[in-house]
Amino acid sequence: MKDLPVKLWFFIAAISLLRIIVASSLALGNDEVYYWTYALHIEWNYFDHPPFVAWLIRTTTANLYLHNELAVRFGAIISSAICTIIVFKTGKLLLSERVGWYAVLLYTSSFYCSIIAGTFILPDSPQMVFWLWSIYLLIKITRFIKLSLPTLNLWYWFGLATGLCMMCKIHGIFLWFAVLLFALINNRKMLFQKGLYISMLISLVVISPVIIWNIQHHFITYTYHSDRVSLFHAGINPLAFAREISGEIFYNNPMVFFLVWTAVFGLFRKKYHQHKSDIRVLLCCGLPLIFTLIFLSIFRDTLPHWSGPAYTCLIFLSALQLESYTPPKAKLMITASLLFFFAIVVTALPMIHFYKGSFSSDQDALHFGKGDPSLDLYGWRETGKIIDTVYNMEKDKTIHTMVITKWFPAAHLDFYTNMQTGLNTYGIGEIFDLHQYYWSNRLKHKLTFGDNAYYIIPSNLYDENDLNFVKRQFKGCNKPLILPVLRNGAICKNILIFKLKGYKKRK
């Protein structure tokens, strides 16, 4: 740490402050608040992902004592600060301190790196620390092999880093794919390194709890994810492909995206003899994941942020290319990238908080706000207050349960409502709709024959099919109590509260 310039620490402090402001001012998103529910019951694996994000949230909330958005997200902000240090050190290792700075500035201007994984709490947040650490170690390992220097200790650390990366998100397996790919195309001597196999064993030991959990639960995590990317019975899906490409462009910042691919295609025209091995490491770590997701998107829906870690590898190639430009030209490109980033952040925050009403054109009371993406991050605090008030005024104090059919908005209701009211969310429906709630049912007060319950849903997420399914589980259902949530003095969505009578299912 002593070799890090003081200005880097000031830069990290300034960017962290910006992230703290964003993290404190926005309600938790669907995914974030769902991962908070992981932390309620620590396990070795969860329906969707390995457990590291749950450990991180449990730590930053002081064992759940702190109940606010900043505490839940603080692990992402810390992770992003650590990532910035690793990015600088990797750029410096590649060539120079200036390349390190270029890489840091491009990394910071990426929406994926700074906001999606760097401010919002997702499995990607801690994953990026171990992903970037693994890249740094792999570059050192390949250099040490070339110089015939001992690599065993580096392999030990690489095994730990990749194992922890996979404990965050299974995408970390692409790091091992990169190692094998690099060894085959660049340096087959690596395959005879004793440290390689010890490192694999260390990774396997680290992720063994996840493997054991999945064996015990019939590999449900991989059944779910394989279903998401399965090509069987899937036709060409041009809309999914367009979403993937446009998402990659925006999430990584259009300027960063342009610089990344300019650098990649530029490799075919220029010869980087001095950095050829390092460049191949970065390409092996980045391109397979990107091309895999682009290929899958031709047939299936994908999420553009899945490719985020891969683009961080290619950011280093951009930094190397910028080093070959004149300083004014490099500065202009980086400035344009940062300005676009800050312009979007500064514009988005006020719009989410102060836009009058809803972006949606749907004015029907039961569907008000449908399709408005800003409502993922707005109105949940107000929702909690509304439901708390209604529950305290409710004369029937025998109701202790809120039935849910999907993991969202169940997690929002848990965080913003049930921590105040004491209501339980009880999942009814299919496992692929409930996700982790399918298992959390066993830890909650179970509905018994004849029980009454609530079904609560915001109008922008209302689905008549879900309501009809719920109704079939009960003898009766009152008409909804429709309560508005306001934004800048106008309705942005309604909260629909249905009272259900007489649960039908017997033990």
pLDDT at 225: 54
Q: For the residues of 165-204, what is the DSSP string, one character each?
A: HHHH-GGGHHHHHHHHHHHHHT-GGGGG-HHHHHHHHHHH
Domains and CATH numbers, the chain: 6-223+236-348 (no CATH), 373-503 (3.40.50)
- Output 73 or 236, whichever has higher pLDDT: 73
The model's pLDDT over 79-101, given as tens digits with 9 standing for 90+, comes to: 999 999 999 999 999 999 999 99
Mean pLDDT of 487-505: 94
Q: What is the pTM of this model?
A: 0.94
Contact 130, 140 (CB under 8 A): no
pLDDT at 188: 85
Token pair recorded at residue 408: 């969202």
Contact 362, 368 (CB under 8 A): yes
**What is the number of residues in the chain?**
507
- Output 83 or 324, whichever has higher pLDDT: 83
Q: How far is CA 352 from CA 16, 308, 359, 410, 444, in A?
A: 21, 24, 10, 22, 35
pLDDT at 20: 98
Smallest CA-to-CA distance from 491 within 384, 387, 349, 364 is with 364
pLDDT at 233: 54
Percent of the chain with pLDDT over 90: 79
Rounded CA separation 374/388 (Å): 23
Q: Average model confidence (pLDDT) for the chain?
A: 92
Token pair recorded at residue 303: 């999420």
Token pair recorded at residue 368: 């008000």
234 pLDDT band, cuts 50/70/90, is low
Q: For the residues of 202-219, what is the DSSP string, one character each?
A: HHHHHHHHHHHHHHHTTT
The model's pLDDT over 270-289, given as tens digits with 9 standing for 90+, comes to: 655 567 889 999 999 999 99
Give the pairing type, strands 490-503 and 474-477: antiparallel
102 pLDDT band, cuts 50/70/90, is very high
